[in-house]
A and B are shown apart, each in its own frame.
Chain A
Amino acid sequence: MKRRDFMTGVAAAGLALRFGPRPLAAQAASMGPLPALAAVEGESPAAITREAIAVLGGMGKFVAKGDKVVIKPNIGWDRTPEMAACTNPEVVKTLVELVLEAGAKKAVVIDNTTNQAKRCYVRSGIQEAVKQAGGDMLFVDDYRVKKAALKGEWIKEWEILLDVVESDKIINVPIAKHHSLCRLTLGGKNWLGAVGGARNQFHQDLDKAVVDLAAFFKPRLTVLDAYRILVRNGPQGGRVSDTELRKTVVAGTDPVAVDAFGCSLFDLAPRDLPYLALARERGLGEFDLEKVRVEKRKI
């Protein structure tokens, strides 16, 4: 609680200093084409999230009035925020606020957790954060998991969460973590939390599975939480010493570019993650960051 209060305080202070994000968005728009990728570093997770969205042109560019928006963080583990196993609750909270400020009718937050669902929702701090921001936190409901045609190259059909696909816009909010099979889990692997069924079978060809899922879900926006990243013992860590503070949020409309940028946080090249190359071949985005308009900021 104290920690959260502290972060909220920092967020509020950061915002006050910057007079809010709107002037910035206008400034960015006036400078020509908007960047496809924004990487913002700063002390407050909430402030850097707001800033990153502002750099991309503001939430109003992605969310229309009356939309039902699904925000899909990683809430997979029964871990508190300082373990960096789940998405930072302040990042999720800020996105819910932005989505609702942009006129969305509903902001739904959902994840098919790995540990017991309620424990993950509560102990990640995300349930409370979403509630405060006025969003809807949903548990995965067995009756809302249906087999659907994924039309992937490997996975033709699979059980998916209807609450994710029956929405107007999807925002993917992964956290950057180490993973011993994919090497890293970023935006692509986060989709494993949007499906049901025996998803542990994906691991037999995880890269292909990730690309098939990413091609199916098509997020409007990907916001990678790298405030605190997990550098070993992934994907759930267990000690604060398994994490590193990077105080960064990476947001973008190109999911492949966001993940490619995520690699740099771990001193890896995009080519080190085979699924990124597969994703580019499938036309899901660009991993060569030279070819992407990237805007980096520090606040």
Chain B
Amino acid sequence: MASQTAFFGLFLYLLLGAHYTGEDYIGSTVQRFFHFDPLLALITIVSARLVYAYFAFALITVAATVLFGRVFCGWVCPLGAVHQFSSFAFKRTKVLKPPREDKASLAPKYYILVIVLVGAVLGLDLAGYLDPLSFLTRSLAVSVLPALAQALAGLSGALYGIGAVGLARSVSQALQNWTINTTFVQGFSVGLLFLGAIGLNARKERFWCRYLCPTGALLGLLSRWNLLKLRIDGEKCIKCGLCTQHCETQAHPYPNETWKSGECVYCMNCASICPTAAIGFPLGARFEKLANVSNVDLSRRKLIVTTLAGLAAAPFFRLTPSRKRASLKLIRPPGSLAEDKFLAKCVKCGQCMRACPTGGLQPVLAEAGPEGIYTPKLVPKIGYCEYYCSLCTQVCPTGAIKKLTVEEKNKVKMGSAWVNKSRCIPYVLGRPCIVCEEHCPVSPKAIKLVEVETKLPDGTVAVQKGPVVDLDLCIGCGICENKCPVMDDPAIFVTSVGETRSPTNRLLLDISAGAADDPYK
């Protein structure tokens, strides 16, 4: 459908644009999509207990849904477009043969929604895992685009191999221009989940939209009053049942009374497949009972049980030491809020990881506890924080990473660097190095050189310049760790202690100065 293609194209264009384009400030990119998402708006506002003005855009989606049903799902949602296209492909190739009538329960997504809502009330932001925009952005940013970039790099190599130098060069130069990072620690798992979500369409058309999507569920609940209700012209209808068989989301158009406005995404399959053109969506105000919105018996009892289950499950998320003591290697992007607030806001979309020009921002697996899976952390060994860059702070859709100018960002400390004197070349081998010092971007440098005496194996003493860190100046950008010639376990490394965002993970105490320039206050 043209609208879906257009929105998917726009989404992809904005996502590709979320990188270093040559400008220090890139303006609004794909995060604008997120602001139209009522689930992310609701969950972020509830879990962070803070209303974000950006999310006013979500009211547009709410209004559209109330008036016209789940048109967002069928016409706008880029993940919906992916699912619809892959379902179509599976149907065309006869991998998927839709049954005459599908009776599977559509309830799971509503229960997922309830659990996400309960989590939000308790300050957990679980929306990002299954929200379609978050899921798609994360999958593309951390897995699909990197894989494509790798493939293109391989293609470029092959082109050089066959002598097509000009073409090969164009490809490789373009890849550098797009600054697509190709190394992600969780790229494989995120990619598998994405392929899995697509693969599910081989079992049921738009499996995700039918059974899993909490955003779809929320919009479904809002759509019961909508003005576009399906009507079958009883005189024309030949009761062939094709409409129900080919309904993408199991909304059950035939017989007319069984149609579920909360499931219909207005894909118009039923209307176009109907051999007698008996199906239409005339304008008309007609309320429906909640039970009729979906075929789900969303009984009070089941809702209460799910809510209780959510309440019971939430504390398990909190059984993590990361709430007591900061994690050593959990170096958050510059501008990140204090950990509890950060977790309440981050929707795990991975846009910061897409924007990072060095590829240092990586999805977390374990360091931040179960609610922190796929949140970002800086892994200096993979990529450091570029001194004059504040792109990650600009693309964050929820403000989990506060928007900072480059000047503001340069005052933020992400962590502190430490010299491992039992691995550092001058200290251990008695040979010159100074690589960390020359890369230190702050002026005056946070890494100073002092004369170091080293006893060599033959008993002689070597004197070389060895690095010492001035923690007052160090911002924890990690370029020293990244460039250290000791490849496996760098002899200078960054840990999170001293990070500006944390009131407890502190090291240098300047009590007399008071709380001076905390950029988040």
Contacts and interface: CB of A to CB of B under 8 A. Distances in A.
B128 to A, nearest CB: 27
B306 interface: no
B434 to A, nearest CB: 5
A203 B464 CA distance: 12
A117 B153 CA distance: 17
B176 A180 contact: no
A123 to B, nearest CB: 7
B168 A204 contact: no
Contact of B172 (A139, A179, A206, A242): A139
A179 B435 CA distance: 11
A237 B153 CA distance: 34
Interface of A: 78-79, 114-119, 122-123, 138-139, 141-144, 179-181, 198, 200-201, 203-206, 233-239, 242
A109 B68 CA distance: 57
29 contacts: A78-B386, A78-B389, A116-B20, A116-B179, A116-B386, A119-B357, A123-B388, A138-B169, A138-B173, A139-B172, A139-B173, A139-B177, A141-B156, A141-B173, A142-B153, A143-B172, A144-B172, A180-B438, A180-B465, A200-B485, A203-B432, A203-B434, A204-B432, A204-B485, A205-B431, A235-B438, A237-B443, A238-B443, A242-B443
B357 A118 contact: yes
A233 B485 CA distance: 21
Contacts of B179: 116, 118
A143 B170 CA distance: 13
Interface in B347-381: 357-358
Contacts of A242: 443
B449 A203 contact: no
Interface in B121-179: 153, 156-157, 160, 168-169, 172-173, 176-177, 179
Nearest to B487: A198
Nearest to A240: B443
A119 B20 contact: yes
Contacts of B156: 141, 143
B441 interface: yes
B433 A204 contact: yes
Contacts of B319: none
A180 B434 contact: yes
Contacts of B160: 143-144
B387 A78 contact: yes
Nearest to B448: A180
B169 A233 contact: no
Interface string B2-26: 0000000000000000001010000
